[in-house]
Amino acid sequence: MIHIVTDSTAQLTPDEIKKNNLTVVPLQVTIDGKTYKDGVDITRQEFSDHLANDKEFPKTSQPSLGQFIEAYEKIQKEDPDASIISIHLTKVLSGTVETARTAAKQVGGEIAVLDSDSTDSGLTFAVMRAKKLADEGKSVAEIMDNLKSFVPTIMTYVFINSFDYMVKGGRASRAVGFISSLIQLKPVIQLTKGTLKLKYKCRGLKKMTKIANQVTDEIINNKDISEVGLSYVDDGTAPKKIAAKIKEARPDIDVTCRLTSPIVMTHVGPGGFGYIFA
């Protein structure tokens, strides 16, 4: 039997995890000196509330090698004939996938590890695709070949309300943050094929809204798109309206709209949201 493993940055509810018999290895978040396992000791809503109210900048860290070894060995113990496909967030955001690869080598057996070149709903698209193919009786090799062709089609746009959290997280200089605040610069970051790129620089909320409308129209008009995830840091008002618009125009598209993961919240900051589609 093929077992699917992923990490807690995937956009999955507890019911979805249980229903699909998925194993989720949690990343860790540190708030006010206390460390929590994402999705185990702290929920996304609780982390979002902390982000908005706490003065201290939270920290995130990848799962330990031991966590992956424990997860893989538990599966193998419960199913001696198990094959494992382990799919994780892009290496440009975390070293999680490399830790998974190291653990797979140490544990042995048939364990295939894949970098999703994405996170959040993009990671979920890959995970659920793997699960569907496994249920259809496809082999590990067949599933991995399919995923390697699919992953490059995943596109993410992240709309950032302020550079403040990118500065705090070390992804932008203080000078850039200061100048951006003066001119109300709101960046739009594109993540695709494992590469982060500044796609748009929006002067103010009006321009950012215009770009968001362009992306929405792009999704609606592209008949090749079948899955869309909208994710947000704290305020889901705008993303929920966008999701409703896409559903109305394209009832054939599977659309979700949920809080994003703590690792994305930490770098994007309050007011941020994103589109993920494939």
Pick the last residue of a domain from 152, 170, 187. 152
| Unique residue bearing structure tokens 């589609």 | 277
- Encoding tokens for residue 207? 């321009």
Give the pLDDT score at 55: 73
Give the pLDDT score at 226: 97
> Is 147 domain-assigned?
yes
Pick the last residue of a domain from 152, 184, 203. 152
Same domain, 15 and 143: yes
Same domain, 111 and 147: yes
- Encoding tokens for residue 39? 């999705």
- Residue among 153, 171, 151 nearest 163 (CA): 171
- Encoding tokens for residue 228? 């869309």
What CATH number does residue 77 fall under? Answer: 3.40.50.10170
> Is 79 domain-assigned?
yes
Strand-by-strand arrangement of the 185-192 sheet: 195-203, 185-192, 155-159, 273-277, 227-232, 254-259
Q: Under DSSP, is residue 14 helix (H, G, I), strand (E, B) or coil? A: helix
Alpha-carbon distance of 24 to 8, in angstroms, equals 6
φ/ψ of residue 202, rounded to 5? -100, 125
Give the pLDDT score at 129: 99
156 near 274, Cβ under 8 Å? yes
> Is 124 domain-assigned?
yes
Give the pLDDT score at 173: 40
Average pLDDT across each block of 10 residues of the chain; the chain has 278 residues. List them in order. Answer: 98 98 97 93 94 82 98 98 98 96 99 98 99 99 99 97 60 40 72 92 90 98 98 96 98 97 89 97
Same domain, 143 and 161: no
- Encoding tokens for residue 81? 């004939």
CA distances (Å), origin 268, targets 105, 154, 164, 233:
34, 20, 9, 8
Same domain, 97 and 182: no
Give the pLDDT score at 230: 99
Domains in the chain: how many in total? 2
Same domain, 179 and 102: no
Give the pLDDT score at 264: 87
Give the pLDDT score at 168: 53
Give the pLDDT score at 185: 77
Alpha-carbon distance of 260 to 232, in angstroms, equals 5
Same domain, 129 and 167: no
> Is 49 domain-assigned?
no
* Structural domain boundaries, residue 8: 2-27+62-152
What CATH number does residue 260 fall under? Answer: 3.30.1180.10
Same domain, 146 and 213: no
φ/ψ of residue 215, rounded to 5? -65, -40
